[in-house]
Amino acid sequence: MEDISRPLLDWYRRHARPLPWRENVTPYRVWVSEIMLQQTRIEAARGYFERFMAAFPDVEALAAADADTVMKLWEGLGYYSRARNLHACAKRIAAEYGGQFPSAAEELRRLPGIGDYTAGAIASIAFGQKAPAVDGNVVRVLTRLERCGDNPLDEKLKARYRSELAEIYPEEACGEFTSALMELGETVCTPGTPDCAGCPIASLCAAHAAGEESAYPVMPAKKPRRREDRRVLLMICGDTAAVRKRPDKGLLAGLWEFPNDLEREAPAGGCPCGEAVHVFTHVEWHMTGYVLNVSEPLPGYTWVTRAERLALAMPSAFRYYMGVLEEMGL
């Protein structure tokens, strides 16, 4: 791999965006931000990060929090296993490491929810180590740079990039180099049509020389998403509505939801209240909602007032139906 470190660092020092986690850099702040930024856009993560830091200013505060409070602060960010792992990891660091993050990437990787990428990001940005952090953004830059047609999701390709990058990490600016590569992928070498005119490594880029920037990375064919038709029941009893907690494992584990199932039939006495679609990574929910008034709270559910419901962590999949209840004043 060409040594891209110099031009990239010079560019980064002039163009780095001011982001909350780039101020007051600590392992804890780098870790939380990196977990949030997996599958979440920077602008969406920014507010969550600030609220999270206000509630849990350090790893010990997060370790001591109860799970529902953590999930509530994560509500709307999606991929909730990230929040559960974050909490589990904080507890381990508090209990086993005296509240101090280990500095070596290999040791960080043994903690819950920390993979190669996050371990590299923490070790390089917070501890100044030569520990590359290779995510989809970085793979995009590097496959374009060398016009590499390998599957960008292949772990072997990421491992090769980690070892080649480790060779060119600038000793005195490891954290900046990690951030610079990420920044280039997020702001210049973007998916679709990159801004090669503003790229500090354009003269070294093989895809650019060939005029084939958009052809890389070469993505494998996607499996089609599964469709599920779901019936959502807004059961109302007086000023309360029925909710239930999802199982501890699987999709949206541990979050609260309105009762729903795979039945196609309208429930007896149910009044249709609209359709909504929510797209997850592997499945799409096509939901049809019904309002059902009941005279007694049925067993098997938790019956909550509006205020109690608003305090629960409910996934955005049910946002439309929360709006239906709001309109009914519930």
Residues recognised as catalytic: 34
Stretch 74-113 residues interacting with ligand SF4 (CB under 6 A): none
- Comparison of 134 and 201: residue with beta carbon closer to ligand SF4: 201
Candidate segments 202-210, 238-246, 252-260, 315-323, binder of ligand SF4 by CB under 6 A: 202-210
Among 62, 125, 202, 317, binds ligand SF4 (CB under 6 A): 202
Candidate segments 9-17, 111-119, 149-157, 195-203, binder of ligand SF4 by CB under 6 A: 195-203
Site string for ligand SF4, 107-146 (x = CB under 6 A): ----------------------------------x--xx-
Does residue 286 contact residue 275 with C-beta atoms inside 8 Å?
Answer: yes
Candidate segments 65-73, 97-105, 188-196, 256-264, binder of ligand SF4 by CB under 6 A: 188-196
- Comparison of 77 and 207: residue with beta carbon closer to ligand SF4: 207
Candidate segments 45-53, 172-180, 199-207, 287-295, binder of ligand SF4 by CB under 6 A: 199-207
**Binding of ligand SF4 by 194 (CB under 6 A):** yes
- Comparison of 101 and 216: residue with beta carbon closer to ligand SF4: 216
Q: At closest approach, how far in Å is the CB of 205 from ligand SF4?
A: 3
Among 199, 241, 314, 324, binds ligand SF4 (CB under 6 A): 199
**Binding of ligand SF4 by 181 (CB under 6 A):** no
- Comparison of 14 and 249: residue with beta carbon closer to ligand SF4: 14
Among 208, 256, 258, 304, binds ligand SF4 (CB under 6 A): 208
Q: At closest approach, how far in Å is the CB of 169 from ligand SF4?
A: 18
- Comparison of 133 and 138: residue with beta carbon closer to ligand SF4: 138
Q: What are the φ and ψ backbone dihedral angles of 273, each rounded to 5 degrees? A: -130, 20
The CA distances from residue 13 to 9, 18, 123, 173, 181, in Å, are 6, 11, 20, 11, 12
Does residue 284 contact residue 277 with C-beta atoms inside 8 Å?
Answer: yes
Q: What does the block give as tokens for 297? A: 């709270």
Give the 3-state DSSP-derived string for the chain, with helices as H, strands as E and coil as C: CCCCHHHHHHHHHHHCCCCHHHCCCCHHHHHHHHHHHCCCCHHHHHHHHHHHHHHCCCHHHHHHCCHHHHHHHHCCCCCCHHHHHHHHHHHHHHHHCCCCCCCCHHHHCCCCCCCHHHHHHHHHHHCCCCCCCCCHHHHHHHHHHHCCCCCCCCHHHHHHHHHHHHHHCCHHHHHHHHHHHHHHHHHCCCCCCCCHHHCCCHHHCHHHHCCCHHHCCCCCCCCCCEEEEEEEEEEEECCEEEEEECCCCCCCCCCEECCEECCCCCCCCCEEEEEEEEECCCEEEEEEEEEEECCCCCCCCEEECHHHHHCCCCCHHHHHHHHHHHHCCC
Dmax (CA) of the chain: 73
Total number of residues binding ligand SF4 (CB under 6 A)? Answer: 14
Among 1, 196, 253, 294, binds ligand SF4 (CB under 6 A): 196
Candidate segments 189-197, 258-266, 295-303, 310-318, binder of ligand SF4 by CB under 6 A: 189-197
- Comparison of 2 and 68: residue with beta carbon closer to ligand SF4: 2
CB atoms closer than 10 angstroms to residue 220 = 10
Stretch 145-164 residues interacting with ligand SF4 (CB under 6 A): 145
Which positions touch ligand SF4 (CB under 6 A)? 141, 144-145, 188-189, 194, 196, 199, 201-202, 205, 207-208, 213
